[in-house]
Amino acid sequence: MEILGTSLRVCVDDLESAVGVYERLTGSQALRFERGGVSVAAVGAFLLMSGPQAELDILRKVTATIAVKDVDEAYAVLTEVGAQIIAGPVPTPVGRNLLARHPDGSVFEYVDRGGSAA
């Protein structure tokens, strides 16, 4: 499985205020989208998320987002090493993702830019 990069997940109360700070820190413009009632801004290596508390409580359980070349390959490798696939693969606004609990209990999101939603 080829890992292309990682994104740190940050839950914020005020997305608009946070976006300005992270754009200045990274020198990048935010890419914005909504998913399941949560507003998301991808800024450099950060995924800023804001929305209903119940949704954010779930999102906080995911350690990081890992970009991979192919989610199907990630699924196969994760299953092989004993990870539990919690959700997915499912289409996203930019590709596909899945959530997996590693054998050590850590939860990660794996995403690609391919598949049915590309």
Q: How confident is the model at residue 114 (pLDDT cuts 50, 70, 90)?
A: low
- Nearest-angstrom CA–CA distance, 102 and 115: 23
For 64-90, the pLDDT digits (tens) are: 999 999 999 999 999 999 999 999 899
Q: CA dihedral in degrees (96, 79, 87, 115; nearest 10)? A: 20
Domains of the chain in start order, with CATH, are 3-112 (3.10.180.10)
Give the pTM.
0.81
Cβ proximity of 15 and 41 under 8 Å: yes
